[in-house]
Chain A
Amino acid sequence: MGPLVPQEIIGEGWNFFIAFIVGIGFGFALEQAGFSSSRKLVGIFYGYDTVVLKVFFSAALVGMLGLLMFSLFDWIDLNLVWVNPTFLWSAIVGGVIMGVGFVVGGFCPGTSVCAAAIGKLDGLMFVGGIFIGIFIFAESFPLVKSLYMAGNFGHLKLSTVLGISQGFLVFLVICAALIMFWIGEAAEKRFAREDITREV
């Protein structure tokens, strides 16, 4: 059955409308979770607020479980679902740069747009920074092109690498996530910062 647009079960013209609806849900979820506040977001790195961990992993768990279930019931053809290609080295180095950016700036791109939408000027500043960063990347692209293209493994799934079924991998991720949730909530008590959590 699904995905509906790539199989032309519903017209291509609807795709942008769907994108807009998806975006509304995305933005709403982020803002409701408190992702429009940088002090709440970075809480995970100091232990006083682990909302990022909880929201990020519970969303990922629901996403992977749902996809697997849909595929089992033939509701979605996983061959038509985009799997991010793996370029190992650029993913690692890019991730490192993003990680520093995250804890310095207090946002990631989606959350900064969301923060800017409710009037956070630091969010707006972060968005401006992203524009500059992207521009710099494009200008320096010839210099980093070899890194950008290095370690291409194509549309590789982790279950293939580990040689286990997708269902079993998802189960392992669930176990890991539930342990992390537990640790996260313990950390919130251990590193509680009433002064910060009251304000944000």
Chain B
Amino acid sequence: MKSHYMNPYLAGLFLGLVLLFAFFFSGRGLGASGALKRVVIETVGTIAPEHASNSVYFSKYIGPDKGNPLNHWLVYEMLGVVVGGFLSGALAGRLKWKVEHSPGITSKKRLIMALIGGILFGYGSQLGRGCTSGAALTGMAVLSVSGFVTMASIFGTAFLFAYVVRKNWI
């Protein structure tokens, strides 16, 4: 059976070249959670400005000299991801509103699990100073210790924990 996805090695090669392009032009790699963090900062800063400036963590990113937290490299990159993902989905005919889940669970359960997973990942990405793309992939490409540690930690834990949640997937 021919897969309708790109060959993984080819996709990896392409992703690696994108990463290299980012290094060559901007001197930095990819990232995802940083952009989402800035959306949170901007949201909290708009709804409760006082709370945001009192927050030890948020106040690092806001202030008269910092400019808009959304005016950041990663935010523009993430907008690109939305466009790029959409383009690829459109080309491959994969644009469709749906909740993807294993036949063994309901859509509702899948959505709840996705939410919980997102909360955990959001929390972990801030503690670990980056996610799979920002800390693990980019970190490994520049040979930083944190890149290898984060990668091993994410995938190692996920392997160990996979058994616990196997009913959700297989």
Contact = CB atoms under 8 A, between A and B. Distances in A.
Direct contact of A and B (CB under 8 A): yes
Given A121-B99, A153-B145, A45 B40 contact: no
A3 B157 CA distance: 35
B138 A84 contact: yes
Interface of B: 1, 3, 5-6, 8-9, 11-30, 32-33, 36-37, 39-40, 43-44, 55-58, 71, 73-74, 76-89, 92, 94-102, 110-111, 113-162, 165-166, 168-170
Contacts of A186: none
A150 B151 CA distance: 19
20 contacts: A21-B80, A39-B102, A58-B11, A76-B24, A82-B142, A84-B135, A86-B146, A95-B157, A98-B121, A98-B153, A101-B120, A103-B165, A111-B132, A113-B85, A117-B86, A118-B85, A129-B117, A131-B36, A134-B122, A157-B142
Contacts, number: 536
Contact of B128 (A27, A54, A80, A98): A98
Dominant secondary structure at the A interface = helix
Given A4-B24, A84-B138, A137-B123, A24 B80 contact: yes
Nearest to A64: B141
Interface of A: 2-6, 10, 14-34, 36-40, 42, 44-46, 48, 51, 54-64, 66-67, 70, 75-76, 80-88, 90-123, 125-139, 141-142, 144-145, 147-148, 153, 155-159, 161, 166, 169-170, 173, 193, 196, 198, 200
Contact of B127 (A19, A26, A147): A147
A107 B129 contact: no
Contacts of A34: 3, 5-6, 8
A117 B23 CA distance: 25
A23 B84 contact: yes
Nearest to B148: A158
A155 B142 CA distance: 10
B133 to A, nearest CB: 4
B33 A3 contact: no
A133 B15 contact: no
Contact of B19 (A30, A62, A94, A131): A62
A95 B151 CA distance: 7
